Amino acid sequence: MYVLLFAALLPTVILLIKVYRMDTVEKEPPRLLWKLILFGALSGVAAGVAELVLGRVLKSFVPSYSMLYEVLENFLVVALVEELCKFAPVRLFAWDDPAFNYRFDAVVYAMFSALGFAALENVLYVMNGGLGTAVTRALLSVPGHAFFALYMGIYLGDAKLAEVRGDAYMRGHFMRLAILVPVLLHGFWDFSLSVGSSYMAGAFLIFVVIFFLCAFRRLRRASQTDEPLDT
């Protein structure tokens, strides 16, 4: 049991440390980061309940064997619900915190919330699936959650900057992108795996390689080009 728990939590811990170290200008307060991890994990419980309820509602209106069902389930029931749940702790606890004074801070907050979510999810999956599941999820699912959140954080940083400058229109635009882009990435990820087609499996592998490479470059660039929000 302890080996499985360690294997489930290790990839999230590694990514948390990596992101924390990339915040080179001004470290975020531990009390805020721990709060985001905790409520990110709790948001996973909320997401599970919401997905269960919405999944049943969807099945009552759309045949579960149809392509429409696959699209709605993966993009709305799963991706939208989970990304909103990961977004909520950042909006509730970090958005108005005085520590949020650099653009890269939003990336840190979003990724810490998402990795809290991923930690709980990973523990549940690994405890049921064993070490093989731990390895697969360490290479795919956990980084996937982190990189969906990367794009959320980038757009949240843009939205915060627009808010500081008094630009309500661009603030709203970037807030919408902070949800839409992760949902589309997450939805395609899940959809391509759920279809059960060899073509989609190939598309998924290509997508993952390109997505991870681009996301890592965006993460590094966001860290290197960090700037204060009062400029």
pLDDT at 38 (0 to 100): 98
Range of the domain at 131: 2-224
Q: Express each pLDDT in 60-119 by its tens digit.
A: 999 988 999 999 999 999 999 999 999 999 999 999 999 999 999 999 999 999 999 999
Q: Express each pLDDT in 146-186 by its tens digit.
A: 999 999 999 999 999 999 999 999 999 999 999 999 999 99
Please give the residue that has the higher pLDDT: either 2 or 210: 210
Is residue 219 one of the residues assigned to a domain? yes
Is residue 15 one of the residues assigned to a domain? yes
pLDDT bracket for residue 231 (50, 70, 90) = low
Is residue 231 one of the residues assigned to a domain? no
Q: Which amino acid does the sequence have at 191? A: F
Q: How far is Cα 219 from Cα 162, in angstroms, rounded to an integer? A: 20
Is residue 230 one of the residues assigned to a domain? no
pLDDT for 196 beyond 80: no
Is residue 229 one of the residues assigned to a domain? no
| φ, ψ at 102 (rounded to 5°) | -135, 155
Pull the structure tokens for residue 49: 């309940």
pLDDT at 73 (0 to 100): 97
Task: Measure CA of the first residue to CA of the last residue in the chain; give whole Å.
Answer: 50
Give me the mean pLDDT over the 114-141 stretch: 94
Is residue 188 one of the residues assigned to a domain? yes
Tally of structural domains, the chain: 1
pLDDT at 199 (0 to 100): 86
pLDDT at 225 (0 to 100): 94
> Which residues make beta-bridge pairs with 228?
102
Give me the mean pLDDT over the 122-137 stretch: 93
169 Cβ neighbours under 8 A, 6+ residues apart: none
Is residue 182 one of the residues assigned to a domain? yes
63 Cβ neighbours under 8 A, 6+ residues apart: 69
Is residue 118 one of the residues assigned to a domain? yes
Q: How far is Cα 10 from Cα 160, in angstroms, rounded to an integer? A: 32
pLDDT bracket for residue 20 (50, 70, 90) = very high
Q: Give the containing element (helix H, strand E) for 133.
A: helix 131-139
Q: How far is Cα 90 from Cα 109, in angstroms, rounded to an integer? A: 6
